[in-house]
Each structure stands twice: as structure tokens, then as C-alpha cells.
């Protein structure tokens, strides 16, 4: 029997489906004969009482969630997310560079600092990567951290806004698509596949800043999808590490491109678990037994 | 200490130029001082406390809170994506004045260190673990060995009994004195 804890924060539980998912984790733990408590940020001195910790809260290297991950690791406990997952995925520069280094298919990307933010650079990038360009601030703690630009003036203006709180930004080619896939992986295994409708007017809302607000989430049985989707998602996950990830992919002419790898992927009852009801049990088993 | 390059920017704050220099080096396959993970271990006070404690470096009593501040005087370090800057709160009025600001009205946590009786706070400047203050030789070397930041400004709580680590803060290269740069000159192999 293992003693497990879910670290969560009131303000990150945005919907009843996320709350239901938390109770589903607890049920899965009970069914496997484990104990599971919820732990809030003013109770962290009790972290050492547990064998495994699941983080279900907004992650950022400067947030309490990272303290929980790192502290648990220093104490030799199993934890999801791994601190390295938070460190890498919360900084888009870091995340995309890991994917590039491992040859994972993704949009062509450039990494710019303040000196690069000129109309001259913009013209060159429009030539190299096409129009529009997608600009991303590295950190999703920004209120708006991703935007499309079509002119050098917009490029400089948006870039400057993003550089207010970070010294680098990501510039990418724009990949249009009718729908996106999300593949949830853990330690090199696929746990769940969901497909979600793509609303052109609100394309930005599909990104991490609006997690939990996606409409039309459709669960898909991983056995029925193109194996290339799964292998691409796993390649992306393995490029980052062995933690729990939500890999967002676009499908274009039968090829899959990784748009983003998220740590701490949303798991909401009735959505990510639709076609993958074992997702709770598998995560609990990893935390309790390491597999 | 084994390393290919030392990042001497001195400010390794998350997402700043100094941080990205370390990231570039890591991604180039170099063993860099510090890695991005080491920079966070040092600057996030709650992590630094645990890491130091496990390595036998004295740390003050501390806890993570959201509303119940212990009795003053205390050091308070916010835990949020916007600031890590610590504040010394000397009395109950100071705590009341800063309670909402430090926690963003209860949204974020704060690490607090109640200060012992008969304390003073020193700001220690370390260049590759060495300082211009001879009595800090051993403490400085131990901090460098553990945290691996080439340049550090360290808030130290000094009691009649010992030096305790309160927090590690940026020491930008541009703020080094001539004497401190000289400490570096003698260690040419560390130059980035």
C-alpha cells in the first residue's frame, strides 16, 4: 500500500469536470489499495509523509508546483510532473529546442532576442517561413502569449510586448489544419488520445492558456488511430523526458507535426478519459509502483 | 569542480539573457555552471532551503504559508511567477502592510523565515565561491560546491553560533568591484 497525495490549488480547479477527475484519481487509488490525500500549498511540510505526489495545479518553475516537484525529488519520492518536465515545457524556447535536437517534426522555428526584433529581420522571416508568422512568448503565465502577425510592423509590436517579461521569443511558420490531436503520454506509453474541433476564429483559445475550456473534445481509442500519430507523439515526449505529457499535434496530408508538448496536461472527467477510462489507474500505478 | 564553461552573467533569473546563456550551453552539450535547473534550485528559496539542509548547510527555520504569518521579525520570499524578491518584515505592522502584496491577496504562497533572537543579516558576495571577507571562506566554498553559481549574492542570517543561508540572489557581472574581478582573473580557466 502506498500513501499518495494530489497537490492542487483551489484557483486551478476551474470546472466541475476537473474536480470530478480528481475524485476519479482518488477512486483509482482506493481500488488499488492505496491511500490518497489532497494537499494544498500551506500544507507542504507534510510532503514527506507521502510516497508519491501528483501535481494538478498550474505549473511554472517559479510557482509552488515546481517547489513541490523538486522537493519531492530531493526526498527521493515519485512525482508527476517531473521538475524537468515543468522546467522544459513551461519555456517554449527550451521545449522546441529539445524537439529540434531530437529531429521531431514541428513547425520551422527561430528564437529571437531584442536585437533581432527589427523590420529587417521580419522581412527575412516572412520570406523564410511564410505569412502569417506565429509569435510565441516563452511562458504561458503571460496573459496573451501567442499571436499571429502578417506585417513587419505587427511583428515588431507584438515581439516587443512579448519581450517585456522574457529575453527571448519563438517565431514559427503557421500551419493551418482542420483539427488537432492531443496525445497524453506517461513514461514512454500512450495513455489517451483526444481529438478536438478547431475553431478558426478562436484558434488562440486552443492553446494552453485556455486549457479546460476546449469545446468538442472527442476521446479516441488509441488502437484505432494512425500509428504515425502515436509514434510522433512518443518521439516528442521522449525528447523531453519520462514524465506525463500532453502532446499537441497537427495532421497535414497524413503527416503529423508537433505543435507543443505540455507538462501537466488537463485530465477532465468525460473528456480526456472518454475513450481511455484507465488513465486514472495508470497514473496512480506509476506513482505507487513506478510502472 | 568539473565544468566546460562558467556562465559569468551573474544574473541567472528564469527567462532572462543570463538564463538563456546557460540553456544555450546545455543544448550545445556543454557542462555549464550553472545549468538552468541549478539556477532555479538556487533562486527559488524553498528549494534552496531543502537542498542546503540535506547537504548540511545551516538554514533558518522556515515554512510555506498563504495567510498565517508567524511572529516577526521575519524574512518573506514570495513564490510566484512575477517576483522572487525577499522582504524583511520587522514588526506586526510591516506584516499587515505587506500581507496582501506578498501573497497577491492569498493567491500565491510565501516562504517565511522567522528570525532568531540576536541575529544580523549579512549580504555576502561570492565569486566562484570566494569572497573578500576571510571569515566567509568555508561557508562560501560550501555554497559554491552545492549550488554551482559562479556569481552569487547571498543573504546570510548570522547568529552568535553560525551562518545560516537565507537566500541566493543575482550578482550581475557588471556590479563586481575591481577586487572581485581580480578574484576571477586569478582563475582564468573559469572564463566563459
pLDDT, tens digit (0-9, with 9 covering 90-100), for A233-279: 999 999 999 999 999 999 988 899 999 999 999 898 888 898 999 99
CATH number of the domain enclosing A77: 3.40.50.20
Beta strands in chain A (DSSP E): 3-8, 35-39, 52-56, 78-80, 109-112, 133-136, 146-149, 169-173, 179-186, 189-197, 217-220, 244-252, 255-263
- Provide the residue range defining the domain that includes A12: 3-84
What's residue A141's pLDDT? 60
CA separation for the pair B150, B135 (Å, rounded)? 19
Residues B84, B35 within the same domain: no
Size of interface A-B (CB pairs under 8 A): 85
Residue B192 is assigned to a structural domain of this protein: no
- Nearest-10 crossing angle of helices A227-240, A92-101: 110
Residues B167, B84 within the same domain: no
Nearest chain B CA: its distance from A64 CA (Å):
6
Overall domain count for chain A: 3
Where does a domain end: A120, A149, A173?
A173
Residue with cell 497524453: A184
Nearest chain B CA: its distance from A68 CA (Å):
9
What's residue A84's pLDDT? 98
**B14 and chain A: CB distance < 8 Å anywhere?**
yes
The number of beta carbons lying within 10 Å of the beta carbon of residue A163 is: 17
The number of beta carbons lying within 10 Å of the beta carbon of residue A108 is: 13
Overall domain count for chain B: 2
CATH number of the domain enclosing B26: 3.30.470
Q: Which long-range contacts (CB under 8 A, 24 or more apart) does A193-197 make?
A: A193/A219, A193/A220, A193/A221, A193/A222, A193/A225, A193/A229, A193/A230, A193/A275, A193/A276, A194/A218, A194/A219, A194/A220, A194/A271, A194/A272, A194/A274, A194/A275, A195/A220
Residue with cell 522581412: A123
Where does a domain end: A145, A173, A201?
A173
Instruction: Kindly state the DSSP code that residue A272 receives in the 8-state scheme.
Output: T
- Whether A62 sits inside 8 A of B79 (CB atoms) is yes
- Find the angle CA(A116)-CA(A121)-CA(A127) to the nearest 5 degrees: 145
With a CB cutoff of 8 Å and minimum separation 6, the contacts of A95 are: A88, A89, A240, A260, A261
| All three cell numbers of B93 | 505592522
What's residue A142's pLDDT? 58
What's residue B184's pLDDT? 86
CA separation for the pair B20, B13 (Å, rounded)? 9
Cα dist from B170 to A213, B75, B120, B125, B141, whole Å: 38, 17, 21, 10, 17
Residues A117, A15 within the same domain: no
What's residue A98's pLDDT? 98
Find chain B residues with C-beta within 8 A of A170's C-beta: none
CA separation for the pair A21, A267 (Å, rounded)? 7
Residues A190, A279 within the same domain: yes
- Whether A62 sits inside 8 A of B81 (CB atoms) is yes
Express each pLDDT in A2-22 by its tens digit: 999 999 988 667 678 888 999
Residues A97, A132 within the same domain: no
For residue A241, the SS3 value is coil
Residue B137 is assigned to a structural domain of this protein: yes
Residues B46, B74 within the same domain: no
Express each pLDDT in A131-176 by its tens digit: 999 999 998 765 578 899 999 999 999 999 999 889 999 999 998 7
- Whether A67 sits inside 8 A of B20 (CB atoms) is no
**A164 and chain B: CB distance < 8 Å anywhere?**
no
- Whether the CB-CB separation of B8 and B150 falls below 8 Å is answered with yes
- Whether the CB-CB separation of A62 and A38 falls below 8 Å is answered with no
- Whether the CB-CB separation of B86 and B121 falls below 8 Å is answered with no
What's residue A148's pLDDT? 94
Instruction: Kindly state the DSSP code that residue B21 receives in the 8-state scheme.
Output: H
Find chain B residues with C-beta within 8 A of A75's C-beta: 50
- Provide the residue range defining the domain that includes B92: 63-114
Look over chain A and give the mean of its residue pLDDT values, rounded to a whole number.
Answer: 90
Q: Helices (DSSP H) in chain B: which residue ranges? A: 17-27, 36-43, 45-54, 92-103, 137-147, 178-185
What's residue A203's pLDDT? 47
Nearest chain A CA: its distance from B132 CA (Å):
31
pLDDT at residue A77 greater than cutoff 80: yes
- For the question of whether the overall pTM of this predicted structure is more than 0.90, the answer is yes
The one-digit pLDDT tens for each residue of chain B (192 residues) are: 788 999 999 999 999 999 999 999 999 999 999 999 999 999 999 999 999 999 999 999 999 999 899 999 999 999 998 888 999 999 999 999 999 999 998 889 999 999 998 999 999 999 999 999 999 999 999 999 999 999 999 999 999 999 999 999 999 999 999 999 998 876 654 444
pLDDT at residue A206 greater than cutoff 70: no
What's residue A109's pLDDT? 97
A115-120 mean pLDDT: 95
Residues B26, B95 within the same domain: no
What is the rounded end-to-end Cα distance, in angstroms, of chain A? 15
CA dihedral A188, A190, A193, A199 (to 10 degrees): 0
- Whether the CB-CB separation of A287 and A134 falls below 8 Å is answered with no
Nearest chain B CA: its distance from A208 CA (Å):
16
**A61 and chain B: CB distance < 8 Å anywhere?**
yes
Residues B22, B47 within the same domain: yes
CA separation for the pair B116, B84 (Å, rounded)? 22
Residues B94, B173 within the same domain: no
Amino acid at each position: 500500500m502506498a500513501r499518495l497525495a494530489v497537490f492542487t490549488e483551489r484557483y486551478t480547479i476551474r470546472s466541475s469536470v476537473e474536480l470530478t477527475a480528481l475524485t476519479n484519481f482518488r477512486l483509482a487509488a482506493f481500488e488499488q489499495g492505496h491511500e490518497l490525500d489532497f494537499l494544498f500549498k500551506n500544507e507542504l511540510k507534510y510532503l514527506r509523509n507521502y510516497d508519491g505526489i501528483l501535481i494538478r495545479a498550474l505549473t511554472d518553475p517559479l510557482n509552488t508546483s515546481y517547489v513541490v516537484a523538486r522537493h519531492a525529488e530531493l526526498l527521493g519520492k515519485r512525482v508527476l510532473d517531473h521538475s524537468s518536465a515543468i522546467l522544459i515545457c513551461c519555456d517554449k524556447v527550451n521545449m522546441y529546442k529539445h524537439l529540434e535536437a531530437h529531429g521531431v517534426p514541428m513547425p520551422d522555428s527561430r528564437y529571437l532576442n531584442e536585437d533581432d526584433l527589427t523590420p529587417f529581420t521580419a522581412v527575412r522571416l516572412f520570406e523564410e517561413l511564410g505569412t502569417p508568422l506565429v509569435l510565441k512568448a516563452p511562458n504561458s503565465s503571460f496573459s496573451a502569449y501567442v499571436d499571429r502577425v502578417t506585417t513587419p510592423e505587427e511583428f515588431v509590436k507584438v515581439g516587443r510586448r512579448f519581450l517585456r517579461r522574457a529575453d527571448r521569443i519563438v517565431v514559427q511558420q503557421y500551419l493551418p489544419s482542420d483539427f488537432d490531436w492531443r496525445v497524453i503520454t506517461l513514461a514512454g506509453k500512450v495513455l489517451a488520445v483526444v481529438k478536438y474541433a478547431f475553431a478558426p476564429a478562436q484558434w488562440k483559445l486552443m492553446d494552453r492558456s485556455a486549457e479546460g475550456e476546449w469545446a468538442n473534445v472527442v476521446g479516441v481509442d488509441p488502437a484505432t488511430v494512425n500509428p504515425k500519430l502515436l509514434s510522433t507523439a512518443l518521439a516528442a515526449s521522449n525528447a523531453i523526458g519520462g514524465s506525463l505529457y500532453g502532446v499537441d499535434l497537427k495532421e497535414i496530408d497524413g503527416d503529423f507535426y508537433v505543435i507543443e508538448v505540455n507538462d501537466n496536461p488537463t485530465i477532465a472527467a468525460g473528456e480526456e478519459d472518454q475513450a481511455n477510462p484507465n488513465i486514472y489507474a495508470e497514473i496512480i500505478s506509476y506513482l505507487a509502483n513506478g510502472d | 569542480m568539473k565544468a566546460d564553461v562558467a556562465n559569468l552573467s551573474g544574473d541567472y533569473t528564469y527567462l532572462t539573457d543570463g538564463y538563456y546563456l546557460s540553456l544555450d550551453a546545455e543544448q550545445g552539450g556543454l557542462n555549464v555552471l550553472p545549468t538552468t535547473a541549478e539556477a532555479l534550485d538556487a533562486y527559488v528559496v524553498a528549494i534552496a532551503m531543502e537542498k542546503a539542509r540535506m547537504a548540511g548547510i545551516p538554514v533558518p527555520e522556515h515554512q510555506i504559508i498563504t495567510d498565517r504569518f508567524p511572529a516577526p521579525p521575519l524574512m518573506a520570499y514570495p513564490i510566484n511567477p512575477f517576483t522572487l524578491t525577499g522582504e524583511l518584515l520587522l514588526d506586526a505592522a510591516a506584516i499587515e502592510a505587506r500581507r496582501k502584496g506578498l501573497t497577491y491577496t492569498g493567491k500565491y504562497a510565501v516562504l517565511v523565515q522567522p528570525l532568531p533572537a540576536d541575529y544580523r543579516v549579512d549580504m555576502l558576495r561570492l565569486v566562484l565561491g570566494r569572497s573578500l571577507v576571510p571569515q566567509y571562506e568555508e561557508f562560501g566554498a560550501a555554497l559554491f560546491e552545492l549550488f554551482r553559481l559562479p556569481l552569487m549574492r547571498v543573504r546570510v542570517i548570522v547568529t552568535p553560533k553560525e551562518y545560516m543561508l537565507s537566500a541566493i540572489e543575482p550578482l550581475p557581472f557588471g556590479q563586481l568591484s575591481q577586487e572581485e574581478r581580480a578574484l576571477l582573473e586569478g582563475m582564468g580557466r573559469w572564463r566563459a
